[in-house]
Amino acid sequence: PLLRDESAPIGSPVFQSGQAAPTTETANTVTIIYSFSGTTPLEKQMSDATTILQTHTQAIIEDTRIITAESRG
């Protein structure tokens, strides 16, 4: 899938590490977890990711979603 924000496509943080690296000025982030085996594994992965972010970065989680091909319409 093509992921993009208002300004440009979003690439892989592996290849765009300079652009994707958070700094002390970072205010908003997005975490994307892909699943090729349905949505059930995603619920635990989202919960684990939320816990890690809140524990290590004091993040405030504003939204979590599971988006499927069916839900996109």
Count of CB atoms situated within 10 Å of the CB of 30? 8
Beta bridge partners of 4: 9
User: What's residue 13's pLDDT?
Assistant: 60
Count of CB atoms situated within 10 Å of the CB of 42? 19
Count of CB atoms situated within 10 Å of the CB of 67? 11
Whether pTM exceeds 0.85:
no
User: What's residue 11's pLDDT?
Assistant: 66
pLDDT in tens, 12-71: 666 666 666 777 887 787 777 777 777 888 888 889 988 998 898 878 888 888 877 776
